Amino acid sequence: MFFSFKDARDYQILFLSLFLSLGIMTRAWTIRIDCVVVALISCLLTQFILTCWSVNELKQQESFFLSNGVLSLKNFLSLI
Give residue 75's pLDDT band: very low, low, confident or very high (50, 70, 90). Answer: low
Three-state SS letters, the chain: CCCCCCCHHHHHHHHHHHHHHHHHHCCCCCCCHHHHHHHHHHHHHHHHHHHHHHHHHHHHHHHHHHHCCCCCHHHHHHHC
Q: In whole angstroms, what is the distance from residue 55 CA to residue 49 CA? A: 10
Q: How far is CA 44 from CA 40, 41, 50, 53, 55, in A?
A: 6, 5, 10, 14, 17
Give residue 64's pLDDT band: very low, low, confident or very high (50, 70, 90). Answer: low
Is the pTM higher than 0.75? The answer reads no
Q: What is the pLDDT of residues 2-33, one digit of tens each?
A: 667 788 788 889 899 999 898 888 887 787 88
Per-residue confidence (pLDDT) for residue 76, from 0 to 100? 61
Per-residue confidence (pLDDT) for residue 44, from 0 to 100? 93
Q: In whole angstroms, what is the distance from residue 50 CA to residue 69 CA? A: 29
Q: What is the pLDDT of residues 35-46, one digit of tens each?
A: 889 989 999 999
